[in-house]
Amino acid sequence: MFNSDIGERTGEGELVETWQRFVQGLLGVLALVGAGIMAHYYAPPENAGLEQQVHQLSSQVATLEAQQSISAGVVDDARESVAYIYGIYHISWRGQHFRARVAGTGFVVAHGILATNRHVAEPWYGDREVAAALREGGEPVLEKLVAYFPGSPLPVVLKPAVVASHGDLALLRLEASDFTDKLRPLTLAQAPPHVGESVSVLAYPMGVTGMVAKSPAVVYDRLAAHPDNGDTAAELAALSLIRPSATFGHIGDVTGDKLIYDAPTARGGSGGPVLNLRGEVVGINSAYIDGFSGGTLGITASELRPLLESAKHLPDQKQEPATNTQVSGVRNVSSSTNSHCLLIPKICHP
């Protein structure tokens, strides 16, 4: 009797254990099937990362193309307001005589007003050799200062307005005419640019030499041997070949009233506008660090505002001022000049 009960219990235990194993195996299979289904419907495809990278690159390319398109439009719109400046000055002292030419760039910043560098408006400013003559009693005389604009066969006479008492900025007055009345002033940016921001510089690097170099072959063959002077500039103007060049780069640093950027420049580029992507003037091209390709220097556009305010109070350009007016932050160009030190590493005025 006892043996029979034990046999029955043993059979029941084996049946239960088998059933439990079956259920556990079934649950395991179901779990694997569920995991497979979830992996199929919810896991990203293997090429999702690659597709995301392609999408990001496509967006970046589209942004760059849009920026380039905006830059081209901005440059084309601003060209007509950017002039090539040419002048002659001399200094006489103790029986000696020094005579030199000056070339630079300027842009219309207000009706009848051209902005540029002080060392263009006053070519002796910052010149160490000339500074020695000035200390010995030499008096600088500006014989001629004119501006050649794109589209005009004739130069525009420039008259002194105001210069910064500290810094390399100046304003010149344009001789009034129907042509100058139509020139569009460039807009000054309300805030300084940010590091990394795209900029373009419109200027006349290498002056007449640069314009002759990019002229049509038939013109180049005729003018290549001509001197870099006012006569050659006049010929280029008569042929409608006065046209500023554009260089492009990015802001590398902003320190106080100084900008540093990698848009290239050269002699003749002083005074050119530094434009942002909206066509606003963020700076005035002024110098470059010799030996450093990313070391073009400019002055923030905000430094022009006190000069513009001062220019509003000057007598009409058709009248000769009775006295020299001294205004805080700026001074009349007929006042005495100050020596400007060039620091090491060498800083060169273009």
Radius of gyration of the chain (CA): 36
Q: Which CATH number does the domain 79-320+340-348 belong to among 3.60.15.10, 3.40.190.10, 2.40.10.120, 3.40.50.150? A: 2.40.10.120
Q: How do the pLDDT tens digits run along the chain, 350 residues long?
A: 445 554 555 556 666 677 677 767 777 777 777 777 766 666 555 566 787 888 788 877 776 666 655 567 889 999 999 999 999 999 998 888 889 999 999 999 999 999 999 999 999 998 888 888 888 889 999 999 999 999 999 999 999 999 999 899 999 999 999 999 999 999 999 999 999 999 999 999 999 999 999 999 999 999 999 999 999 999 999 999 999 999 999 999 999 999 999 999 999 999 999 999 999 999 999 999 888 877 899 999 999 999 999 998 877 654 443 333 333 333 333 222 333 333 334 456 67
**Contact (CB, 8 A) for 128 and 142:** no
Q: How far apart are CA 117 and CA 274, in angstroms?
A: 13
Sign of CA dihedral 331, 332, 338, 339: positive
Q: How does 160-180 read in b/e, with b if 16+ C-beta sit within 10 Å?
A: bbbbbbebbbbbbbbbeeeeb
What are the Cα distances from residue 125, in Å, to 10, 135, 149, 334? 115, 13, 25, 13
**pLDDT for the residue numbered 7:** 54
**Contact (CB, 8 A) for 230 and 189:** no
Angle CA 171–329–284, to nearest 5: 45
Q: How does 213-252 read in b/e, with b if 16+ C-beta sit within 10 Å?
A: eebeeebeeebeeeebebebbbbbbeeebbbbbbbbbebe
Bridge partners, residue 160, by sequence: 172
**Contact (CB, 8 A) for 257 and 303:** yes
The SS3 call for residue 16 is helix
The neighbour count for residue 95, using CB atoms within 10 Å, is 5
Residue 82 belongs to what H/E stretch?
strand 82-93
pTM for the model stands at 0.75
Q: How far apart are CA 350 and CA 344, in angstroms?
A: 17
**Contact (CB, 8 A) for 156 and 117:** no
**315: which 2 tokens?**
């007598």
Write the CB contacts of 329 (distance below 8 Å, at least 6 apart in sequence). 164, 165, 306, 307, 310
The SS3 call for residue 111 is coil
Cα 230 from chain centroid (whole Å): 28
Each residue's pLDDT tens digit, 41-69: 665 555 667 878 887 888 777 766 666 55
